[in-house]
Amino acid sequence: MSAAGAPAWELAFAPASAEETQALGAALAGALAPGDLIVLTGELGAGKTTFTQGLGEGLGVRPGIISPTFVLVRIHPNLPDGPRPGGPDLVHVDAYRLEGEGEIDDLDLENWADTAVTVVEWGRGRVEHLVDSWLDIELVRAGAPAPGADHAAPVLDFDTEDDDEPRLLRIRAFGPRWAEHPQVPWPAVDRPASAEVTPGDAEVTPGGAEVTPSEREAGR
């Protein structure tokens, strides 16, 4: 439906642990609604599943989120006795082994559009045609190997050896659904000094407070 242009807004965080990565996912969940699509990108061990676990916690879906590598799609229903009863389900997709739009279309992701938030790992460049708005979220390990490096011994998602290895988590928003910056109570996670929000949108401070451009001017 849509081709990516410039993002409506962009945020970056530097979570230092699995807990901080999950906290960012849980915070974002409050701004999500049925039909929303998250395109999740990152090397092995970057924290994609860890982030999705936090997202699921914030949505109040059935726990036990793991990467759907071999089943392609896992559906986590909303829990009526959870923190967000009546909220959206979570559809968790691994598109790594899928080739071309035809195989993506065969998943029939639109069947869940009215009831679920959909997260697609390895989805960049593969699923954006399904919608006119999406969030592109990328996770990068500080110690990730350079392009072309030997990947013979991949790490697991936030395994016990690198739980506290810093990550960079970048959120880019595309389409009319995300034209305005949502009011999200972000946790107190460090942000890279170079991270900026598109002019005209609210800026989120490291402590999670939202600051508009006019408020920044008044405070100078």
CATH of the domain at 168: 3.40.50.300
Of 68, 49, 204, give the one whose Cα is nearest residue 139: 49
Q: What is the pLDDT of residues 80-91, one digit of tens each?
A: 998 899 999 999
Average pLDDT over residues 184-200: 71
Phi first, then psi, for residue 133 (nearest 5°) are -145, 140
2 in any annotated domain: no
Q: Tell which phi-psi region holds residue 194, choosing left (phi > 0), alpha (psi between -120 and 50) or beta.
A: alpha
What's residue 90's pLDDT? 97
pTM: 0.77
Distance, C-alpha 84 to centroid of its chain = 19
- 3-state class of 136 per DSSP? strand
**Can you tell me the distance from the alpha carbon of 144 to that of 205, in angstroms, rounded to the nearest whole number?**
27
Q: Residue 184 corresponds to which amino acid?
A: V
What's residue 2's pLDDT? 54
- Per-residue confidence band for 3, with pLDDT thresholds at 50, 70 and 90: low
> How many domains is the chain built from?
1
Q: What is the pLDDT of residues 17-68, one digit of tens each?
A: 999 999 999 999 999 999 999 999 999 889 999 999 999 999 999 999 998 7
What's residue 18's pLDDT? 94
**Can you tell me the distance from the alpha carbon of 178 to that of 9, in angstroms, rounded to the nearest whole number?**
8
- 3-state class of 187 per DSSP? coil
Q: Which residue has the tokens 């916690």?
A: 57
Strand-pair category, 73-76 with 89-94: antiparallel
158 in any annotated domain: yes
Inter-residue contact 55 to 26 (CB < 8 Å): yes
Of 3, 15, 2, 1, give the one whose Cα is nearest residue 171: 15
Q: Which residue has the tokens 């990467």?
A: 67
CB atoms within 10 A of CB 179: 12
174 in any annotated domain: yes
Of 50, 43, 39, 41, give the one whose Cα is nearest residue 15: 50
What's residue 202's pLDDT? 39
3 in any annotated domain: no
> Which H helix or E strand runs over 37?
strand 37-42
How open is the CA angle 204-24-30, to the nearest 5 degrees? 85
1 in any annotated domain: no
Q: What is the mean pLDDT of the chain?
A: 80
148 in any annotated domain: no
- The radius of gyration computed from the CA coordinates of the chain, to the nearest angstrom, equals 17
149 in any annotated domain: no
What's residue 156's pLDDT? 45
17 in any annotated domain: yes
Range of the domain at 110: 9-143+154-218
- Per-residue confidence band for 137, with pLDDT thresholds at 50, 70 and 90: very high
Least confident of 39-43, 165-169, 206-210: 206-210
